[in-house]
């Protein structure tokens, strides 16, 4: 059995994927979108009374998560990842098995890569980078693909 954990502590990352997902209502946090609109908490500056005016859900979420408000989309870039896990067994083959020499063996393993990650924001990988022009921008995640998880089988023969 073997495993590889990867841990990074500190740093910040801006998630534009989360910003756009929240504005558009694709994420669970912003799926509440009543037809009557949402009454935002706050004070009416003209009357000094609590706000009672409803605005559309898109307008409500846009004021918090739009790209013009990136400070609301900054997250801790710390993570703990299980990069690889493997479990296997080696079968020693007896002398003469299929005509093989003594000491021959077969190893079989189940291997998984990128099996889980613990991060502050479950919607993106904090290691992803944004592409701008012909370069990469660290600290910004912008509509990145998810990290690929893979599970495979490994066989080894020694004869």
The domain of 62 spans 2-158
Query: What Rg do the C-alpha atoms of the chain give, in angstroms?
Result: 26
The answer to pTM > 0.75 is no
Report the number of distinct structural domains present in the chain.
1
∠ CA 12-16-22 to the nearest 5 degrees?
115
Question: Could you report the per-residue pLDDT of 65-89, keeping only the tens digit for each?
Answer: 887 788 888 999 999 999 999 999 9
pLDDT of residue 70: 82
Pairing verdict, β 74-76 and 12-15: antiparallel
Q: Which two tokens stand for residue 102?
A: 């003594």
Bigger pLDDT: 27 vs 115: 115
Q: How far apart are CA 3 and CA 5, in angstroms?
A: 7
Bigger pLDDT: 102 vs 18: 18
Task: Work out the number of other CB atoms within 10 angstroms of the CB of residue 82.
Answer: 16
pLDDT at 98 > cutoff 80: no
pLDDT of residue 152: 98
């Amino acid at each position: 059995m073997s495993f590889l954990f990867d841990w990074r502590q500190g740093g910040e990352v801006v998630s534009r994927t989360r910003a756009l997902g929240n504005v558009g209502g694709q994420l669970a946090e912003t799926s509440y979108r009543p037809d009557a609109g949402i009454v935002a908490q706050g004070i009416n500056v003209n009357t000094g009374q609590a706000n009672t005016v409803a605005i559309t859900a898109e307008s409500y979420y846009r004021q918090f998560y739009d790209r013009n408000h990136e400070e609301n989309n900054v997250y801790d870039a710390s993570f703990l990842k299980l990069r690889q896990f493997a479990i296997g067994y080696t079968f020693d083959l007896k002398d003469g098995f299929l005509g093989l020499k003594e000491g021959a063996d077969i190893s079989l393993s189940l291997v998984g890569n990128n099996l889980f990650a613990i991060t502050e924001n479950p919607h993106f990988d904090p290691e992803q980078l944004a592409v701008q022009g012909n370069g990469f921008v660290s600290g910004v995640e912008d509509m990145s693909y998810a990290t690929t998880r893979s599970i495979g089988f490994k066989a080894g023969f020694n004869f």
